[in-house]
Each structure stands twice: as C-alpha cells, then as structure tokens.
Structure 1
Amino acid sequence: MKKYFGVLLLAFGLAASVPASAALQIQSWTQADGARVLFVANHTIPMLDVSVQFDAGQRRDPAGKAGLAELVVASLTRGLDGAAPLTEAQVLDGFADVAAERHAGAGQDRAGVTLRTLSSAAERDAALALLARTLAHPSFPQAGLERDKALAVSGIREELAKPGSIAEKAFMSALYGTHPYAIDATEASIQSITRDDVAAFHRTHYVANRAVIAMIGDITRAQAEQIARQLTQDLPQGAPLPALPEVAQPQGGETRIAHPASQSHILIGAPALKRGDADFFALTVGNYILGGGGFVSRLTDEVREKRALAYSVYSGFSPLAQPGPFQIGLQTKKEQTAQALQVVRDTLTAFLKDGPTAAEMKAAKDNLTGGFALRIDSNAKLLENMSVIGFYNLPLDYLDRWIGRVREVSAADVRAALRKHIHPGQLSTVIVGAE
C-alpha cells in the first residue's frame, strides 16, 4: 500500500505528553483567509510543534504525472525566492542554526510539513519565519528537481524487485482500478514531470483557504493566532478543486504474479472505510479480535499457532477521505499457499457469521483502552492526531471520547459493522510468488 502520511519527531530527545485521562482542550478557529487552526497549549517543556497540511496528496496527481505531489513537497526547501533569495543549503542551515527540525511528506489525501522548535522567542520566530517562506516562496530550482526525480526513480526500481512492494501495488490496483488511490508513480511518470508541473501544482494546492494548521506547545492562544496568520499570509486563495471520482463497487477476484521469492506474499481486501464513519469504533474492536491484536488475534491463532502456516498474519482498516482499504496480509511457503488462503478465508467467514465472544470483546477493549496512552504520549503524536482531526473534520473531542467510544461497543455492534463493510465475495486477493 502507498505510504500513508505520518511523521514522528524525536528532536532533542524530548517528549511531552498530556495525561490520557485529562481533557485535551483543543481550541479551534477559522481565519479570515479560510485556514483552519487547531491549538493545544502545553507548557510542560519549552517546545512548539507545528503542522501545516493541504489537500495536496497523491490523489491530486494529474493524469500521467503520478509522483508529482511527493516531488512538490520535497522541493519546498530546495531554494527560496523573494527579496533575499536563499539556496537549499541556506534554508537547511537556517533551521539547524536555531535547533529546529522540519519534516515533510505526502500521503494519499494530504501533504504538508511539520516543525519542532524551541518556544523561546528568538529561535521560534526565526524557525517560523523560515517555515512560512518555504510554504509560500519556493523557487523550485531545476537542479534540485532533477536530483529528487533521480531519487524517486531509484526508489521505484528498488521496489520493483521486492515481492512485498509488488504485492502492495497490485493490491491497490485490484481494489481501486483507475481511481487515484490506485495510481502509483512509475519511471515514465516521474521523468515526465517538469518544473512547470511542480510550480503549477504548488500554486493550485498550497493555498490559504485549504490549509489546516495544528499547533501544540509552550505558547499562548494569542501567540498561536499570530503564528497561524504568519504561516498563511503569503499564500494565495485557491479555486474549488474538481470532485474526485467515486470509489467503484469492489468486484473481487484473484491476481497471481510469479516471483522467485521462497515465500508467497498474500494480500486480501477491499475498499471499506471512510474517515468519520460511525462504524469506526466497532470496526476497531472487531479488527483487533480478527487480526489487529497481534499474537492474540483469531487469524494468528488459526494460521500460525494451530497450523504454522505463517510467522505473522494481520488485518487492518486504513480509513481515508474516500473508502480506504481493509486488508489481510501474510507470507507463507509457496507450497502452503492454497492451504493458508483457505484457512484465512474460513476464519474470516466464521467471524463474520458468528461475531466475537464475550471473552474476546473484553480482552480487545481492555487492550485498546489500556494502550490508548501510547497513541498520545508525545507532542509529535498529539500533533498528528490533531492534524487528522482538522483535515478530516472529526469532532474536537475525538481523542477525549476515544476510550469511552471503545468501551461502548457491543458484540452486536461489531457483527453489524463487519457485515456492512466486509463482503467475502467482493474481496480481491493478490498472491506474489505462488507456484
């Protein structure tokens, strides 16, 4: 599956957290330019974490230009225009000089940048001013673009030799067909991208009225408002984006791809879940029991423990703006492929028919709620959660209510949600390496 956007910052070896039992108190507002802002004050340590996200992910790549979204976000620091132009080295040195750490990335739906900086005025102001310039005034030098394209091509060639990567690409193609979620960069699409393409994509998608800014750290609300304005003040207003095609009804089927690897790589799934779906928590609990709970899941028990057909087997939902994939994955010896597939299918069918037991429900909810603190145990993790809340318009109390929502799930809820979102006859199967 394509890389999903998520950055964990570990700068300075410091982490600050909000206790899992405490209300997060996300403050949110919309600026005059249309940017949405989410802010949490946390004065535990003198740090500030900032994220700026745009509807500029891989699904927005133009036809024939797959890979453009990732090249654009990579190019933001290659050089800056303006009254005092900066080279790439000067931009990177500027962040380093104030001990700030910046990351960038593009996923299926969104793309953007994160910054961690000291909250002391001198360092913070310098880092944020530079971040604002990289968002609004990149110069996109040709030499930097050519280097990024060469790196992208190298990565594509490397992935084409890996059975796991081959399986992921074929899996997304089987699930999504011609939908943008299935389109993956190729050497040809990367080589076709020009500097004009990069500049046009940036001009269209890196706009103030579609920016989502998240901040957590040692600043006041007034300072947060000033920072948010600074980050978007030089960004243009964007015209409405064209609607993306709907995800087609899954048709199922099986794809087999020969590969000399000693094991078969197997993926089974279908488009299943949108962000904000009311069934999210029921599916979270149900998936933990099916294959998301590691060594305590049904799939692991049936495939690994009872039959030793695979070292690991998993299942998971990846919700997106449009229905994201449900996926079961495993590796097994080539000669065991048919047996492993049958066991997985039988296990899923039985779970959909009968649902979880009371003991499974208790264990799943205990583990999910008990481990929730690990999801928000640093400013960086909280920042990513806030970015998701802002981008997908989830309720501001989403994290505060997470444990309670899990505890409210019943076995009947799990059965109903699984049957609604997973239909065995519509699941696609991809096998790379089978004899």
Structure 2
Amino acid sequence: MSAPRIAHSRLFPRRLHHWLTTVALALLVGFGLTTPVRAAVSDRFVVDGVPVDFVMSPGIPLVDVIVSFDAGSRRDPPGKAGLAALTRTLLTAGTTQHDEQVLSEAFADLATELTGDVDPDRATLSWRTLAKPEIRTAAAALVAEVLSDATFPDAVFAREQARMIAGLRDALTRPEVLAERAFTAAIYRDHPYGQLTTEASLTSLTRDDVVAFFKRHYTRATAQVTIVGALTHDEAAALARTLIAALPSGEALPALPPVPAPASTPQTIVRDHPSEQTHWAIGMAVLSRDDPDYFPLLVGNWILGGGSFSSRLMHEVRERRGYAYSVYSALEPLAQPGPFVIRLQTRGRHADAAREVVAATLARFLAEGPTPEELALAKRALADGFGLRIDSNRKLAAFLSVVGYYRLPPDWLERYPEAVRAVTLEQVHDAFRRRFDPNALVWVRVGGAGDQPNAPSSASNAPPAPDAAATAH
C-alpha cells in the first residue's frame, strides 16, 4: 500500500529535526562516537531558605541560571485558567525603577538573555550572562529587581491579555490543539492539571488577580535556583543570595488533590473538524518525576513508540500499512502522574483502521513485553546518547533545574546512563503490565471530515466553532 498523502503541518520542522536527530544518534551509537556524560553531580545547598543546585563548568566564561517557582498552571484558581501564564509574561513588563523598554535595554547592555516559561508544575525565569564578576552581579541584581519589584502596568496588562485571547482563538482552530485539550480534560477531569484556559477565563482576569498571584507564588518558600557556569561554590552562593535577597519569605502552598483514578472502561471522545487529517491522542495519566518505575517505563516507551523509526508503533502504523507519516508515544512526567500519550495523524478514511493497529500493537506489547534485541537497542540509544542531551551549559542547566525542583537525588543525571543500562526485560514487562490498563485508556479523535466520501471540497477552509462540544462513548 502506498503511503497516504499527509497534509503539510507546522509541526513538520520539529518532526524532521526529531528524525535527523534519531538518525544521527543511530550513527553515533553504531560507530561508538557518543559523547560521555559530563560531570553533572549537583552541589546542592540552601541560601536563605531557598534550595540551590549548582554545577561548576569552567570551560566557557558564561553563567546559566534558572529560577523556578511553584507557580505553574496547576495553581490557577478555579475559573481563572491562564493566570499563571499571564503573570509570568508580565514579570518583565517593568519595575518601579525601570519601565518595560528601559528594562529591556538594561538587560541588553549587560549582554544578558532573559527567557522563561510556565508548565503545569512551575514557572521559570531563565537567564544567561557573562561570568565576569561585575557583569554577572549587575545582571543578578536586575533579575532580582524583576522578581521582587514588578509593577504589572495597566496598559501592558491589557495588551498581553488581548494577545493571549487572540492566540487562543487561533489555536482553537487547529485539530491537534483540540485533541490535546480534550485529552488533558478527559484524563484529569476536575483535577487542577485538567483546567483548560478559555476565552472566558482569560477575559475574567484582572490586574489585581495578577498582583495577588505574584505575591502568593513568587516567594522564597516556593523558589528553587539552578546555576551552571564558570563559578566557584562561594560565587554561586553569592549569586543566589543576590537573586533572592528581596523576595518575601512567603508560605508553603497547599498540597494538591490526588490525580483521579483512570476510568474502568475505555473512553472515546470525538470532535468534528473539517481537516483532511484525523488527529489521535491516546493514553492515560501514569508517570510522576520520582516514580520508582521511571526507568523501566522510559526504556519500554522508547521501544513502543519513543524510538522514532525503530519503534513498534512506527513499524506497524507507518512502515507496514502507510497510515501515518509520524506516530509516536511519549511519557510526560509531572509532580503528580503525568500523561502517557500516543499521538498520530492520518487521513480521515484511515482513522478507524489506524486505531485498530495502535490498539493491537499496545496489547501485544503489554502481553509479551520487548524482545532482547529491542531492549539492547533502546538501552544503547538512551544511555549512550544521553551525553548529547547535556553537552552545553544551557542544556545541562535545563536538566539540572528539573532535578533540583523535583528534589531528585543530586547525582541523578550522572547515574542516568547506568540506571538505563540496568533495566531488564522482566522489569519493563512487569512495569507496563502493572501500570497500563487498555480498559482505562482515553481515545481522542479530532478531524478527518475533509477526507470522507462526498466531503465538501471547501471543508478544509471552514474552521470549526472554538472548542466544539465533544461526543463521549
């Protein structure tokens, strides 16, 4: 069977990069040219009540710093989804000493890159600067000003709120976004991880909401600092102290409720969309950051769907049947169980057949487990290729901030390759059988109406109503 035509997607460059990375990794593994893991044991200490994870990296005269706060989207109040993201966006909108433009120029004058992000668990402020003492100290003082003295101007608040609403409206026309939202809501239901940003929730936000969220969540009690660069221990401690000096002490935030148990029967959610491609998102909540099954599940997922062209899903869905250009599975660990998800897109006429192949492939993997050859390939790829994932200060800081924020052992990164190599066939098979129940899976299907018999030729040009109602079976 010839491969079906796959509509062009904005995700193609990412998939091409993933494919090229996998090919390069295979070549490196095959020729024994993979990079050894850098010394990545964290020097962990506490500065004024804030945990700090530091790795000395003297080879490059730069410093990478990530400040994390328990201020992710899980902390959005009910009905206020989007507040965490808006607050983080507005952090650099000005302080009592510098307006937005002057603040941006001040960072530029110090050759300091300032970025950040919000995920379900945390909000981050990341910055890179020169290790030269007078520059790094001035940069740290400026970042400290942002973290303690943000003013959230009314005009900038209105601008960014409008920008988020416009971005959401656009996102809700895309089938892959609709699938992801429906999947998240289905597996987490009324848990904070399942609260979705809507136009109504964004419209309801006020500047007072942002100020209150900032005061409650950007404190020493919720903070963690990661530093990688050409510094000594004492210099790193002094840098951290400058960063947090003006932060209020704050209070620990309340624990979140447990993630709801999976349903006892499979759930299928169908959303109409005029696209030719059907987007599937299939899975359940499984893996936390400190999960004792972390490494068996990691290795097993690589074999099932995480290993690109070497995975079972790719072989069965794409290579044997030509149903999809890309199909993969992913584990997305969080503080509480994060998603295991299989994602693929296929022509609408192949949607049901592709589902059957995915179900059969997963069922066989759960029943039989991996083969010795699959296990050996997965362990070599994951263990030998890990050094490439932390081969720069910036990459190392990103991984180290995860280790620090989730309070994983300080030597977690250094032990990663050996932990992978120690995984056995029995451990993979046992972990998947215990943790995955085919009857508990959520199956989300969005789109494909434009690739059905007698489909209107103009269907692909008509966007759906935003967040159209789902049909559950």
Query: Structure 2 length as normaliser, TM-score?
Result: 0.86
Equivalent position of 2:46 in the other structure:
30
Equivalent position of 1:6 in the other structure:
none
Contact kept in structure 1, 2:222 and 2:252, CA below 8 Å: no
Equivalent position of 1:128 in the other structure:
140
For 1:277, the aligned partner's letter is D
Equivalent position of 2:410 in the other structure:
396
For 2:182, the aligned partner's letter is A
* Residue 153 (structure 1) aligned with residue 165 (structure 2): yes
Q: Deviations over 1:345-376 (max 9, x none)?
A: 00000000000001111111111112111210
Q: Could you say if the C-alpha distance between residues 193 and 76 of structure 1 is closer, same or farther in structure 2, counting changes exceeding 3 Å?
A: same
* Residue 192 (structure 1) aligned with residue 204 (structure 2): yes
Equivalent position of 1:367 in the other structure:
381
Give the Å deviation of 1:242.
Answer: 2.0
* Residue 267 (structure 1) aligned with residue 267 (structure 2): no
* Residue 45 (structure 1) aligned with residue 57 (structure 2): no
Equivalent position of 1:164 in the other structure:
176
The whole-number CA distance in structure 2 between the counterparts of 1:257 and 1:61 is 26
Equivalent position of 2:444 in the other structure:
430
Any runs of at least 4 consecutive aligned residues in structure 1 with deviations exceeding 4 A, and if so which? none
The whole-number CA distance in structure 1 between the counterparts of 2:56 and 2:110 is 22
Give the Å deviation of 1:209.
Answer: 2.2
Equivalent position of 1:14 in the other structure:
none
Equivalent of 1:182, from 188, 194, 199? Answer: 194
For 1:28, the aligned partner's letter is R
The whole-number CA distance in structure 1 between the counterparts of 2:287 and 2:75 is 20
Equivalent position of 1:324 in the other structure:
338
Contact kept in structure 2, 1:79 and 1:86, CA below 8 Å: yes
Give the Å deviation of 1:434.
Answer: 4.4
The whole-number CA distance in structure 2 between the counterparts of 1:116 and 1:351 is 44
Equivalent position of 1:9 in the other structure:
none
For 1:188, the aligned partner's letter is A
RMSD: 1.1
Contact kept in structure 1, 2:113 and 2:129, CA below 8 Å: yes
Q: Deviations over 1:386-414 (max 9, x none)?
A: 11011111011101111100000000000
Secondary structure of 1:161's match?
coil
The whole-number CA distance in structure 1 between the counterparts of 2:84 and 2:389 is 28
Equivalent position of 1:67 in the other structure:
82
Unaligned runs of 5+ in 2: 1-34, 450-473
Give the Å deviation of 1:312.
Answer: 1.0
Secondary structure of 1:173's match?
helix
Identity %: 45
Contact kept in structure 2, 1:352 and 1:418, CA below 8 Å: yes
* Residue 228 (structure 1) aligned with residue 243 (structure 2): no
Query: Structure 1 length as normaliser, TM-score?
Result: 0.93
Secondary structure of 1:80's match?
coil
Contact kept in structure 2, 1:40 and 1:216, CA below 8 Å: yes
Give the Å deviation of 1:160.
Answer: 0.8
The whole-number CA distance in structure 2 between the counterparts of 1:159 and 1:306 is 33
Deviation larger for 23-32 or 290-299:
23-32
The whole-number CA distance in structure 2 between the counterparts of 1:164 and 1:322 is 24
Equivalent position of 1:115 in the other structure:
127
The whole-number CA distance in structure 1 between the counterparts of 2:37 and 2:193 is 37
* Residue 105 (structure 1) aligned with residue 117 (structure 2): yes
The whole-number CA distance in structure 1 between the counterparts of 2:185 and 2:38 is 43
For 1:95, the aligned partner's letter is F
The whole-number CA distance in structure 1 between the counterparts of 2:386 and 2:124 is 26
The whole-number CA distance in structure 2 between the counterparts of 1:299 and 1:261 is 23
Q: Deviations over 1:304-356 (max 9, x none)?
A: 11111111110011010010000001111111111110000000000000000
Contact kept in structure 1, 2:53 and 2:400, CA below 8 Å: yes
* 1:207-222 matches, cutoff 5 A: 207-222=219-234
Deviation larger for 381-390 or 232-241:
232-241
Contact kept in structure 2, 1:20 and 1:376, CA below 8 Å: no
* Residue 344 (structure 1) aligned with residue 358 (structure 2): yes
Q: Could you say if the C-alpha distance between residues 25 and 274 of structure 1 is closer, same or farther in structure 2, counting changes exceeding 3 Å?
A: closer
